[in-house]
Amino acid sequence: MNLFSDVPNNDPGEIIRHFTPNWFAATMGTGILALMLEDFPMAHGLLHPAAQALWCVNVFFFVLFSALFLGRALVFPDSFRRLFDHPIQSLFIGCIPMGFATIVNGMILIWPVTANSALWAYGWWWVDAVLAILSVLLVPFFMFTSQVHSLERMTAAWLLPIVPPEVAAASGGLVAQHVAPWLGVSVIYVSYVFWAVSVLLSLGILTILFLRLTLHRLPHRDMAVSSWLPLGPIGTGAMAMITLGDADGHVFTGTSLVPMAQFDHMAGLMVALLLWGFGIWWLCMAAFFTLRYLGEGLPYNMGWWGFTFPLGVYDSSTYLLFKDTHYLPFLVLGAVFTVMLAAFWGW
């Protein structure tokens, strides 16, 4: 990928003015690969340094992209405002909190957790939560009021601004397990609300997407990789149910809500399993669609990162199901998905 390919004379001012949030999709894909390399059951000693290196690279690019995005907002406010009227580019604003969530999760899963690092992750999680709620509120508002959409032109990219709250919810379940219960309780409650907002809206969009595919067939090959995006809300929805169920036992220990925590753990596991099963159908459809598109040729664009993050979070939910059920096929499938993820990322 080349940040400067479409900019006249590589002018720094033009680079800032033309910078779009599409680039944050790369941080989503790189971040989730780092997390899945950490979970990969074989050659962990070799892959752990690779996961740490990818996490550091991801932090660098996230900071760079954030500086460029903020620069556009401050230096070119009119251009920045028009971004929200664009029916495609505005959707990628959701990639910002989702990419940031992989960094927060890496602080817990990739690096040694100390009291200080857990507090840093806790603080950054609240930043991610604010970004997530801004995405799910602002982007649909502009979709409803100033953008032009139609069913025929609809793609799974509509999910991008909707999914961030449930990504934050899954991250909240991880963070809450490593901080004091009095800090974690707010994270738990907010995360369950985020899950409800995001998952239910996403299921509605998936219903519309099914109708669109039935009536108007597949989208243009430029949007081919968007067929993988439905795995995003399904995978993160399952992840959140498991991580929050696990966190409840830590946060509510010694309180009157212990019975609820026990119920949440089992109910979360069941809901996660149901969502995971639902995801199998979309995974098969995405694979079939991709094979069909290969015959037409797949042009490279930033949407190619659609291969990575949705598959990665679905992979993560698979590993979490294994950790809670000890059912070996989940571990095997998780390893297969990680290999696929690495192949797609490096393609």
Q: Are 224 and 307 in contact (CB under 8 A)?
A: no
Quick one: 346 exposed, middle or buried, by C-beta within 10 A (0-12, 13-18, 19+)?
exposed
Domain ranges within the chain, ordered by starting residue: 8-346
How far apart CA 180 and CA 216 sit, in angstroms, is 52
Helix H segments across 163-301? Answer: 164-176, 181-216, 231-251, 258-294
Apex 189 CA angle, 158 and 238, nearest 5: 50
8-346: what CATH class?
A: mainly alpha
Tell me the three-class secondary structure of 147-163, residue by residue.
Answer: CCCCCCCCCHHHHCCCC
Q: According to the model, what pLDDT value does residue 290 have? A: 86
How far apart CA 271 and CA 124 sit, in angstroms, is 28
Q: According to the model, what pLDDT value does residue 346 have? A: 81
How far apart CA 17 and CA 6 sit, in angstroms, is 12
Apex 207 CA angle, 238 and 308, nearest 5: 50
Q: According to the model, what pLDDT value does residue 305 have? A: 67
Q: pTM here? A: 0.94
Ordered per-residue pLDDT tens for the chain, 347 residues: 555 455 555 677 888 998 999 999 999 999 999 999 999 988 777 899 999 999 999 999 999 999 999 999 999 999 999 999 999 999 999 999 999 999 999 999 999 999 999 999 999 999 999 999 999 999 999 999 999 999 999 999 999 999 999 999 999 999 999 999 999 999 999 999 999 999 999 999 999 999 999 999 888 776 777 889 999 999 999 999 999 999 999 999 888 999 999 999 999 999 999 999 999 999 999 999 888 888 777 766 666 766 799 999 999 999 999 999 999 999 999 999 999 999 988 87
DSSP 9-51: GG-HHHHHHT--GGGHHHHHHHHHHHHHHHH-SSSHHHHHHHH
